[in-house]
Amino acid sequence: MYELSVTVCRVMRVWIDQDLCTGDGICIDHCDDVFVQLEDGIAYVAESGQPLNDPGGSGSLASIPSRHVESVIHAAEMCPGECIFIEADAAPAESIAAVDQPAA
C-alpha cells in the first residue's frame, strides 16, 4: 500500500488599509513587485503587475510569491502608517507553486 504525503506550506497574502496609508512609499522601496503607488499618492498591493484597487474588499488581497515574503514582512514592519496586513493560510505545496509562476 502506498501512502500519499503532501507537504503543507503557508500561502501568504497581503493587503493595505488605504485609510491608514501615509503615502511615504517605504513599502515600494522594499518590494516594488508587490506594492504600487497610484496617482492618489496612496499605496496598493499588486498581483501579476496589476494594482488591486478595491479598498476594504477581498479584491485587494494579493498573494505573495515565496521569493518576496521576507521583503513584504520587512515593508510591513517599517511602514509608518502600520497599514500593511499579512495573512497566512495552510495550503498544499502545489498552491505555492502556482503563486510563484512568473506573470505572462
79-97 pLDDT, tens digit per residue, is 999 999 999 886 555 554 5
pLDDT the model gives residue 64 = 93
Give the pTM. Answer: 0.73
Taking Cα atoms as reference points, which of 83, 88, 87 lies closest to residue 27? 83
Closest to 83 measured CA to CA, from 28, 20, 11, 29: 20
CATH class for domain 8-99? alpha beta
Separation CA 70–CA 22 (nearest Å): 22
Q: For residue range 23-71, list pLDDT tens digits in order.
A: 999 999 999 999 999 999 999 999 888 898 766 556 688 999 999 999 9
67: CB partners within 8 A, 6+ apart: 100
User: Is residue 12 packed enough to be buried (19+ CB in 10 Å), middle (13-18) or exposed (0-12)?
Assistant: buried
Is residue 9 over pLDDT 90? no
Q: How many whole angstroms separate alpha carbon 71 and alpha carbon 11?
A: 15
